[in-house]
Structure 1
């Protein structure tokens, strides 16, 4: 990506039967496109960035954010 490597780790919790990855390796994913889905139960997603990625996380600990709420922003070098 423009900010370096990004790792997306879907995690199944509380009775998730499986995680189905729909994105194929090497394809470009655009904002809002599906990358995977959980089959039944609770879930979470961890997103990791390289140290030099220039990502600013604005989410606060202990605050519940609804889906679609911005919790951070990337600032690609040179843009």
Structure 2
């Protein structure tokens, strides 16, 4: 099974459909369940992606800053 950050990166790329920004419509606990993790881990992984400048997050709005890096996670 892939690591959580791999599943999250794949999910973000999949729903973005080559757009640079997306809005998450799922609640965090629902997204965590969908990705097979806990809400706390999901929050940490989003922070990890943000700290590495792969994404920028403002609430449920996410801007993908480096899709190539996300692809290579």
Could you tell me the TM-score, scaled by structure 1's length? 0.28
Which has the larger Rg?
1
Higher percent of residues as strand: 1
Give the structure with the higher percent helix: 2
